Amino acid sequence: MSSPDYPLLVLPSYEMYQIAHIATFLAEGLARHRAAGSREERWNALRDLAGGRAALDQALGVTGPSRPEDLPCPIDTGTYRAAREIMSAGPRQAEVVSLESTGRRGWAVVGQVPGIGPVGAVVSSKAVADALRHHVLTQPVQELTAWAVRDRPARLPTLSQRVDLAAFVENLNPTLNRSRAVARHLRGLNSRVDAAIRGRFAGVDLDGPLVVEPPQAPARATGPARPQRSAPASRHLCGIGPQVTTHSAPKVPANNAGP
C-alpha cells in the first residue's frame, strides 16, 4: 500500500471503528437508494438502511425512535464550505466542527482525501462525528468514496420502524468490515436475528479487530520457476498500520561454531 492509502497511524477506540464502519454502511445505502432504477432496488436499499440504522442505534445506546435527520449522510457543498472556513487546509485531513454557528443542528466532519477530493459528513451525534474523523484519517481511499462531497444536500428517506432484521442479515457481505460491524451490533436483539448472524457469519470473529488485507500483486512469469524464499506476509491493522507476519521458523546453523 502506498502512504496516501494509510496516511496516519492513529489508534482510536475499538468502538470508534465499529461506529464508523456502520455509518459508512449507511452512506453506501443512501447512494444505492439515490441510484435505484427499480422498485426492488429501492426496497433493498431501504431494507439495508433500516437494518444499518438499528445497528447504529445499538452501538450508540439509543433507546427512543430515530429521526430521519439522525441518519449519517455525505456532506453537501454548501455545508462543506461553511464548515471549511472553521478549519485550516492540509493534504489529507479531517476535522469535526459544530454547525451551531451556521444556524443548523448537529456536527460536520470536513476533510480532504487525495484520490477523492473533499469528503465529509453531517451527523447528529458527536460520537459518530469523532469516529468518522478517525475513519477518514486511517482508512484506504476505496473505503471512503461514499463520503465524497455532494452538490446538494442528501435526501433522507423515511425508514420503517419495523424491519425483518434476520432477512437483512442474510444479505450482508461477511467479507466487508462494515458488514461485520453492523452484524456485531445486531447480536442479542432476538434469537432469530442471532441465528441468522451465526449462519451468515460462520467462521468470522465479529469481536476481533477489523483487518484490511492489502491486495497482492500478481506474479510475473519470466521463465522456468526457481525455488525462492517465501516473502513474509503482511496485513494492515485498522488504525495501526502494516504488520509483517511470517510462518517461517528461525534458521539454525548447520555446523557447530565451537572448536
**17-58 per-position pLDDT tens digit:** 788 899 999 999 999 999 999 999 999 999 999 999 999 988
pLDDT tens digit sequence for 139-163: 888 889 999 999 888 888 888 878 8
What are 181's three cell numbers?
A: 460491524
Do you know the residue count of the chain? 259
| pLDDT for res 10 | 42
Q: Give, rounded to a whole angstrom, the gap between the first and last alpha carbons of the chain.
A: 48
What is the spatial distance between Cα 32 and Cα 48, in angstroms, rounded to a whole number? Answer: 10
162-201 pLDDT, tens digit per residue, is: 889 999 999 999 999 899 999 999 999 999 999 999 999 9
pLDDT of the residue at 163 = 87
Query: pTM of the full predicted structure?
Result: 0.56
Question: What average pLDDT is seen over the chain?
Answer: 78
pLDDT of residue 1: 39
Residue recorded with cell 477530493: 117
Closest CA to 15 of 45, 60, 55: 60
SS (H, E, C) 108-148: EEEEEECCCEEEEEEECCHHHHHHHHHHHHHCCHHHCHHHE
